[in-house]
Structure 1
Amino acid sequence: MNLTPEEKEDIKSLLLFLVEKKSEISDGHNGFHLKELEPFLQELVEEQKIKCRPTITADNYFKINN
């Protein structure tokens, strides 16, 4: 993915927020895992904002073309 420096910073800030939030709610005992994003992706699928296509190794998410 080609992202602008600003877009990269936005994503890094969001990921840092998620790691800090996980640390806060677990009192520093649990780390954040990318699998924890799956419920949010599933919500976007249910809201028909994106679509999911299962592959052999993982689910891939795509923009819905209108």
Structure 2
Amino acid sequence: MNPVDSEGREDHPLLHRWVRDIASRCEGELTEVVHEVHGGRLIRIAYIQPANGIGWSTAADNIGPAR
């Protein structure tokens, strides 16, 4: 696992790079990966911003390099 700061942000190797979300098949810049507790479970959420349009979130395991 990658290092996580005190606010739950992960130092992901693809941070600020162009990624592809396999769930939506969309691409954008990975702006943040955070660790959040939901229902007593720790989950990793990736936030992605496309070149144009509205950003979205997905499970961090759903992302990979786009190019």
Q: Normalized against structure 1, the TM-score is what?
A: 0.25
Structure 1 or 2, whichever has the larger Rg, is 1
User: By percentage of residues, which structure has more strand?
Assistant: 2
Which gives a bigger RCO, structure 1 or 2 (Cα 8 Å, sep 6+)? 2
TM-score of the aligned structures, taking structure 2 as reference length: 0.25
Structure with the bigger percentage of helix: 1
